[in-house]
Structure 1
Amino acid sequence: MDRLDPRLPQTWLGANFWSRTGGPLMWRNYSPDVVREELAVLHDHGLNMTRSFFYWPDLQPEPEVIDEEKADRFADFLDAHRELEMSTIPTFIVGHMSGENWDPAWRNGRSLYCDVWMVGQQAWYIENLTRRFADHPAIAGWLISNEIPIYAGEAEEQTVTTWARIMVQAVRAGGGTQPVSIGDGAWGADMSGHASGFSTRRLAGFTDYVGPHVYQMETDIVRSHLKAAFVCELAAIGGRPVVLEEFGLSSDFASPEHSRSYYRQVLTTTLLAGAVGWIAWNNTDFDDLAGQRPYSHHPFELHFGITDSHGRPKPPLEALAEFSRLLERIDFPHCHRAWVDAALVVSSYLAAGYLSVDETQRRLVVRHTEQAYIAAKEAGLAVGVVREQEDGGLPEGYRLYLVPSVKELTAPSWHQLVDLAEAGACVYASYCAGESPSQRGPWWSATEELFGVRNDLAYGINNPVVDDLVEVRLLADLGDLRAGTVLTFPTAGTENSRAFLPVTVTDGRVVAVDAAGRPMIVVKEHGRGLAVLSTLPLEHFAARRRDANPEDTWRLYRALGLIAGIESPVQVEDPRVLIDAMEHDDGRIFHILVSERPEATEARVHSREPLSTLDGEPVTGPVHLDPYGVAVLVSTPSPQENR
């Protein structure tokens, strides 16, 4: 497949910044000396930028008025960055911050999106602040807002998109030529299934990068570690660079060592998922502000800092420093993601707005593809996360297509999957009835043509999986899975979703059955390719379970990869050690291992090419990995290995 590698003018590695002298009120309590101390600590640990904030009630105290004293303080803040050769991305409409919404006194409840006068005031404010600072060398980019759906609410997509376009135009009218984005968090329907009005795809039409904010809680440590990576994969929908604009944790929620591990995992896995910038939340703790809103009523917000309230580094900053050194050692500006031959399909039902598709079903699309992403990583299978086009159509050219626990694809896409298999691809889909009782059945087409089966469903009735564990026994070889192999799948789900698809096999071939002898995996050959059906919702089972990963879906995916002719030149035996690659322009390949083990481990690595460490030492045995640790191996493929 063609390589998609959107870039920004520079690599951003930094922190969201409020000074410990005031938090959101820092422009009232500004200390040039403290700000310089705070920036110096970040700089000394390899960070090169910040994301900063114009606190709106202070900067625009009246309509068409800029507070000159506050603006002068921001100018000094920019100078402090320049002194350290750092840069910053100012954020205009704040607005929302850390559990509190902050209004200019003159807003009086007017709609930020729909009230013409209010839209004009925002545009005036943005244009005038941009004009003041656009030529300062410390300006790296611009952000319109901070999580504005929380502050201004949700609205129709057309309304939000029009408002956002006007705000971006205000930056350009003020002379801002640097990259600009919205700052909304990338939480809309095409990312989460919830229609907030903020469409990542629509906004990409006039912005320069996408900035996800990722803080979700989890019940599975591997899902927690890979959550931000999968979000970054989804965020590439508009073809714009992806910057992890906010991520982090309160040290009230995690021990120091787990905090370090979480940062290390998120930074490394998002690097491998295509992110080109990282901005942690946030630069400092705020213990001296415990009586000030928002910290008084959200006390855990006091301790999101990568430094403590005295400016001392915390474990997350140490992980950022480690990551900074990694980016330098691999010469990241001259690296790109490795080629992939496997496609993980995201159904268009996530965001297309078709009638009679409820949010329950849309959210499941995310959960199922996320779990499939994890299983593919555990299988050592690099995947491209691809989107089904609205009203049908999938990108061509992949050797393997994974369609996990799917209730809905459009009819044209099902027929296209037949064509892709006949052209030589391996097509995999697993059934899921979905969690909604509405139209509970497969929204599939060409099922018999693709898989060689007819469904044996009774109308309105699903076929429950009653056992807590399903054993699937292979009757024939499948990739590296030999006949007689038993795969085990703990089950989960609701009364609607915990169900299998009963089938009558026509011209398919049953390769695996359950304890009752029912077909669980069916294969049908198509020309040079084949299609593989799982009648169980394997990814749904795992997505709905606590501490699910790894589970045996990764073994099935590894077998599918081999059938499709996909074999990584460097492989790891342990599914708890993930591996992916970055390619340097000079031909070197950096194979990055990420351990999902809480204890130290020695990973057995198999390679077709000689491997070395970043220090140039040859790798001749197992590779040591610290708990939740990272290791980087280097190879230089022979000419026949290069594409």
Structure 2
Amino acid sequence: MTIPQDRPRVPRFGVNYTPSDGWFHHWLDFDLDAVRADLDSVAALGLDHLRVFPIWPLFQPNRTLIRPRAVEQLVQLADAAAERGLDIAVDGLQGHLSSFDFLPSWTATWHRRNLFTDPEVLDGQAAYLRTLAAALVDRPNFIGMTVGNEINQFSGEAHPDPDPITPGQAEAWLHRMLAACEEGAPGRLHLHAEYDAAWYEDDHPFTPAHCTRIGAATAVHSWVFNGTAQRHGPTAVATGQHAAYLIELSKAWAHDPGRPVWLQEVGAPAPHIPAEGAARFARTTVAAALDCPDLWGVTWWCSHDVDRSLADFPELEYSLGLLTNGREVKPAGAAIAELVAEVRAGWSPPPVRSTALVLDLPDQAPKRSLCAPGGAYFEAFMRLAADGVRPTAVLAGHSEDAEHLAARGITELVTVDTIS
């Protein structure tokens, strides 16, 4: 869709593409006709982009072998998307998807070495990201690369076989990987994406500062099964506002007051969001995100349900699609399609959020659990939202910086201890 030049840019609306035939294992038996049918069903919802997931060990089974045929199939997918008016963003290091880890054998067992610090692993990762980006650089519908999907989970203590690193090593790794993406496709929207441990977990090596100061945009992944829905319920303000909260929380650390924020993953996980409430949750969540200034776009997780013939997924993973495994539109898909049409018919950017809740954390934020569901800061923010306030977040270190506050349009400061 072409937007008239006198109209503000409408946020992007897309979907994380989960192939209906074989899930991400479809790369093993790539069927372009099946992909085209999937993309037809996505385009029919009025969406404008896909987030696409090559599986790292299938594309780079040896450190010095990036399979040309696999890269060619990725380009074929991009071209099929373009034929249907869909742009694509590509995640590189998969990495981790829907509870499964996909790591090449040259990083594991007898070849076990740290994913973030080993020099040879870094060389291989950089070559892979650069190759994928370069393969797509001449495609007008290529948005850019995301380094990997929630790859920070490999660095955390919760992982069964973690790759421990310091925040400084995480930062160096991010810069190296993003530089490789830029070398392959200069000037595109290259970024990185972490799951919410970066925002909520004390001492996690990937920090909010990394998320908001490295890369071309900030990515947030909003999942209310993290304790939000369990604590507050499926229809509570906190549940519907969780994605908007992460968007606004990210702005506390950003140096650029207008830095774009991409709601790159958000979904309606059952039973935390009952199936009969998925459409309502979708509308509420996306509407709340659209009320956040500087939103780049919303990319729903996911396109199609996972075929129940596939084993061992957590139960909630099977039913997250906007479409069924048979490509039929589900109620959440219809709700998203209706909302997208409404927004495009009459979009006006939201006003600035002039009230900021002060976050008393040091810049590197080692202790972040107060921002998590149940934490004092999270609960205070949600009380403000329930009262009809449109809060944003500001670090205490910036709360007396007049230039910073003016650049963000903040005119009122509120502290956690003043909210009952």
TM range (shorter): 0.7 to 0.9
Contact 2:153/2:195, CA 8 A, preserved across alignment? no
Q: Structure 1: how far apart are the matches of 2:65 and 2:98?
A: 26
Residues 1-35 of structure 1, C-alpha deviation per residue, up to 9 Å, x if partnerless?
xxxxxxx9873211111212221211112221221
Post-superposition shift, 1:82? 0.8
Post-superposition shift, 1:230? 0.7
Tell me whether 1:346 sits opposite 2:359 in the alignment: yes
* Distance change (3 Å), C-alpha of 1:30 and 1:350: same
Residues 496-543 of structure 1, C-alpha deviation per residue, up to 9 Å, x if partnerless?
xxxxxxxxxxxxxxxxxxxxxxxxxxxxxxxxxxxxxxxxxx2xxxxx
Q: Structure 1: how far apart are the matches of 2:127 and 2:241?
A: 41
Residue aligning to 2:159: none
Residue aligning to 1:227: 242
* Distance change (3 Å), C-alpha of 1:227 and 1:252: closer
Post-superposition shift, 1:155? 2.2
Higher relative contact order (CA 8 A, sep 6+): 2
1:282 is matched with which residue: 277, 302, 308? Answer: 302
Post-superposition shift, 1:330? 2.1
Residues 538-569 of structure 1, C-alpha deviation per residue, up to 9 Å, x if partnerless?
2xxxxxxxxxxxxxxxxxxxxxxxxxxxxxxx
* Distance change (3 Å), C-alpha of 1:193 and 1:250: closer
SS in 2 for 1:28: helix
Post-superposition shift, 1:208? 0.9
Residue aligning to 2:415: 403
Tell me whether 1:336 sits opposite 2:349 in the alignment: yes
Post-superposition shift, 1:254? 3.8
Residues 326-371 of structure 1, C-alpha deviation per residue, up to 9 Å, x if partnerless?
221223xxx3331444222111258444xxxx666x4479833333
Q: Structure 2: how far apart are the matches of 1:181 and 1:280?
A: 18
Contact 1:287/1:309, CA 8 A, preserved across alignment? yes
Q: Structure 2: how far apart are the matches of 1:84 and 1:317?
A: 18
1:256 is matched with which residue: 267, 275, 298? Answer: 275
Q: How does 1:606-617 map to 2 (within 5 A)?
A: none
Tell me whether 1:202 sits opposite 2:210 in the alignment: yes
Q: Structure 2: how far apart are the matches of 1:384 and 1:400?
A: 10
* Distance change (3 Å), C-alpha of 1:166 and 1:350: closer
Residue aligning to 1:246: 265
Post-superposition shift, 1:253? 4.8
Residues 113-145 of structure 1, C-alpha deviation per residue, up to 9 Å, x if partnerless?
110111111011111121111111221121001
Q: Structure 1: how far apart are the matches of 2:399 and 2:270?
A: 46
Q: Structure 1: how far apart are the matches of 2:298 and 2:317?
A: 20
Post-superposition shift, 1:40? 1.2
Residue aligning to 1:317: 333
Q: Structure 1: how far apart are the matches of 2:307 and 2:269?
A: 13
1:382 is matched with which residue: 382, 387, 390? Answer: 390
SS in 1 for 2:195: coil
- Which structure has the greater CA radius of gyration? 1
Gaps in structure 2 of 5+ consecutive residues:
1-7, 157-163
Q: How does 1:594-613 map to 2 (within 5 A)?
A: none
Post-superposition shift, 1:202? 3.1
* Distance change (3 Å), C-alpha of 1:9 and 1:68: farther
Contact 2:47/2:340, CA 8 A, preserved across alignment? yes
Q: Which amino acid aligns with 1:199?
A: T
Q: Which amino acid aligns with 1:164?
A: L
Contact 1:49/1:88, CA 8 A, preserved across alignment? yes
Aligned length: 387
Residue aligning to 1:116: 119
Coordinate RMSD, CA, aligned: 2.5
Moved more, 108-117 or 8-17: 8-17
SS in 1 for 2:268: coil
Residue aligning to 1:44: 44
* Distance change (3 Å), C-alpha of 1:10 and 1:254: closer
Q: Structure 1: how far apart are the matches of 2:310 and 2:10?
A: 37
Contact 1:101/1:151, CA 8 A, preserved across alignment? no
1:144 is matched with which residue: 134, 144, 147? Answer: 147
Gaps in structure 1 of 5+ consecutive residues:
1-7, 406-428, 431-537, 539-643
* Distance change (3 Å), C-alpha of 1:341 and 1:242: closer
Residue aligning to 2:58: 58
2:291 is matched with which residue: 258, 263, 272? Answer: 272
Post-superposition shift, 1:73? 1.4
Q: Which one has a larger percent helix, Structure 1 or Structure 2?
A: 2
SS in 1 for 2:142: coil
* Distance change (3 Å), C-alpha of 1:81 and 1:287: same
Q: How does 1:70-89 map to 2 (within 5 A)?
A: 70-89=70-89
SS in 2 for 1:245: strand
Q: Structure 2: how far apart are the matches of 1:320 and 1:206?
A: 30
* Distance change (3 Å), C-alpha of 1:262 and 1:20: same
SS in 1 for 2:88: strand
TM-score by length of 1: 0.57
Post-superposition shift, 1:162? 0.4
Q: Structure 2: how far apart are the matches of 1:365 and 1:320?
A: 26
Contact 2:191/2:216, CA 8 A, preserved across alignment? yes
* Distance change (3 Å), C-alpha of 1:365 and 1:79: closer
Contact 2:249/2:392, CA 8 A, preserved across alignment? no
Q: Which amino acid aligns with 1:122?
A: Q
Contact 1:260/1:319, CA 8 A, preserved across alignment? yes
SS in 2 for 1:207: coil
Contact 1:350/1:363, CA 8 A, preserved across alignment? no
TM-score by length of 2: 0.85
Contact 1:244/1:277, CA 8 A, preserved across alignment? yes
Q: Structure 1: how far apart are the matches of 2:74 and 2:368?
A: 43
SS in 1 for 2:217: coil
Percent identity (aligned): 20
